[in-house]
Amino acid sequence: MEIWAVEGIAHSILHFLDLATFDAVLSSLQDKPELQDYLQDALLWSQLTKVHFGGRRDAEANSDANSSRDRAWDWTSRDRTCAELQAFLQSMDDLARFEEAVTVVEGDIQCIDKIDGKPLDGIAFPTGSGLMNPRIGAAGAVFRRAGRGLDEFVADQTFRDGLPNGSTWFPAGTAVVTPAFEAGVNKLIHCVGPSVGTAECYELLSQTYENAMDRVLSENLQCVAMVSISTGNLGVPCAKAAQVALRTIQKFLANSTWQGKLAVVCNDERVLKAFSDEKATMMKSFNVTPPLPDADSAASWFLY
């Protein structure tokens, strides 16, 4: 451990470590009283946070929501670690949790039944404002999977009467839970996304994902397949939709205790590429939250 006594060398080593190595190194540093000053070096950990995550963790993120990985030492004590190191470790845990929880897969929502070997218990999918069977697209596939019972359920006036104001249609941003019938899961989450050209399209798209994830949490679903929202006939450009979707899910994970798995199931090469590329970008600058995209004109989506 002699090299750690030389501050310049120690800083260089820490700057070149990969994230997988930090826990072991920090455990060793905190165990040596003569090296514990590194744990209180606010400037060092601010720099390392920028190097590995692009910047500080969102100040609004709940540091207590998603229990951090177990560590053999008390890294949350302000007597032992500076706030900047605590934020670095929380960012590291957030990133690891996101990478573990969220996968992007190619597949058919009508057929997929497992994520990494774990049986599905929920499906979230885009649908029209009336929640009825469109017989095409992802919603049509889910209705076929669920069987006639779902068609009858959403058409039944008892179901309609139980909805807010006896709604016959739902505004963009809504997520509604129904039984899954023959779909082989516990619940279905019907997601009403915005169409391109809608005022505040991307705010509404983010709201749709947020509400869908809130339903996942409230229904205690632990393994969910989700189809991208608004990227089909509603015309939202795939790259922008992927950015909004994954950043909204990232925020949800950082502020909740949910420990499940979520697969974005893509049956279109453009959507698969957009979500895969966006996830790869996020891994390189996890704490950098881009602003929501500018709204697209009603006709511009034909260019994508």
223/179 same-domain check: yes
37/122 same-domain check: no
155/87 same-domain check: no
98-124 confidence digits (pLDDT tens): 999 999 999 999 999 999 999 999 999
Predicted local distance difference test score (pLDDT) of residue 60: 74
Helices (H), the chain: 7-16, 19-30, 42-53, 83-101, 137-146, 148-155, 157-161, 201-218, 238-254, 269-284
Could you give the CA distance from residue 101 to residue 249 in angstroms, rounded to a whole number?
A: 10
272/150 same-domain check: yes
What's the mean pLDDT in 152-167? 79
Highest average pLDDT, of 73-82, 180-189, 287-296, comes from 180-189
111/246 same-domain check: yes
Work out the number of other CB atoms within 10 angstroms of the CB of residue 165.
6
142/250 same-domain check: yes
Predicted local distance difference test score (pLDDT) of residue 70: 79
90/109 same-domain check: no
What letter represents residue 57's amino acid?
A: R
Residue 293 lies in a domain: no
Predicted local distance difference test score (pLDDT) of residue 158: 83
Exposure string for 116-152, b = 16+ CB within 10 A, e = fewer: eeeebbbbbbbbbeebbbeeebbbebbbbbbeeebbe
Could you give the CA distance from residue 295 to residue 131 in angstroms, rounded to a whole number?
A: 25
What's the mean pLDDT in 157-162? 79
Could you give the CA distance from residue 114 to residue 38 in angstroms, rounded to a whole number?
A: 44
| Nearby residues of 20 by Cβ (< 8 Å), 6 or more positions away | none
268-303 confidence digits (pLDDT tens): 999 999 999 999 999 999 999 999 988 765 444 444
Lowest mean pLDDT among 29-33, 56-60, 62-66, 235-239: 62-66
Domain total in the chain: 2
114/60 same-domain check: no
Residue 169 lies in a domain: yes
Predicted local distance difference test score (pLDDT) of residue 165: 61
Predicted local distance difference test score (pLDDT) of residue 55: 95
In the block, which residue shows the tokens 């839970």? 177
141/265 same-domain check: yes
Mean pLDDT of the chain: 91
pTM of the model as a whole: 0.91
Residue 60 lies in a domain: yes
141/276 same-domain check: yes
Please determine, for residue 49, whether its predicted confidence score (pLDDT) is greater than 90.
Answer: yes
Residue 295 lies in a domain: no
What's the mean pLDDT in 229-239? 95
Residue 34 belongs to domain spanning:
2-68+75-98
120: alpha, beta or left, given left = phi > 0 and alpha = psi -120 to 50?
beta
Predicted local distance difference test score (pLDDT) of residue 1: 60
Predicted local distance difference test score (pLDDT) of residue 3: 84
38/179 same-domain check: no
Smallest Cα–Cα separation from 285: which of 48, 104, 50?
50
